[in-house]
Amino acid sequence: MKVALIVAVDRANGIGKNNDLMWHLPADMKFFKETTAGQIVITGRKNYESIPERFRPLPNRENVVLSRDQALQFEGCKQFNSLEASLEHFKNETERTVFIIGGGEIYRQALALDCIDEMYISHVDHEFGADTFFPSIDQEQWDKKILFQQTVDEKHLYAFETIHYTKKKNATK
């Protein structure tokens, strides 16, 4: 099983405010859609509920929602009460990547479990006053490759670059 994480962060590692995105970056959304298409996506309940209803569940992906409240039902999604339980369910998956897509608490849990093989992080060149943050990572544990850079244009009010991080062979896992 390969586990990846995908996120966009501002200069302060902010990922959201008031349970919503803080920017509109079509090239980043396109990258997210293309990268996770056909894969498994795991998200926390609050993050899932922040996705506009017309896009839920995310199409062309196996959607997994984490919630301790088993009375809640998420149509078209698998549901688990913990990240560990969801990863255990997919432990024999060899064809698809399991993507952790947020929110902040789920990212923290995934990094604490040391289960992430690779990360796709879009670094937005602005600070937005977020109330939800991506945890700090030990840069020495990861090899980095810039996938693309987006400049400010008529569709993008903020520049960003997307970096693919792969766990170094000698890093803990």
Full set of structural domains in the chain with CATH: 2-167 (3.40.430.10)
C-alpha–C-alpha distance, residues 147 and 165, integer Å: 10
Rounded to whole angstroms, the Cα distance separating 129 from 51 reads 20
Distance, CA of 167 to CA of 120 (rounded, Å): 12
User: 171: pLDDT confidence band, cut at 50, 70 and 90?
Assistant: low
Residue 170 scores a pLDDT above 80:
no
Is the CB of residue 29 less than 8 Å from the CB of residue 52? no
Model confidence, pTM: 0.95
β-pair type (118-124, 132-133): unpaired
Counting every residue written for the chain, the total comes to 173
**pLDDT: is 48 or 20 the higher one?**
48
Residues 45-72: pLDDT tens digits? 999 999 999 999 999 999 999 999 988 9
Give Rg (Cα) of the chain: 16
Percent of the chain with pLDDT over 70: 98
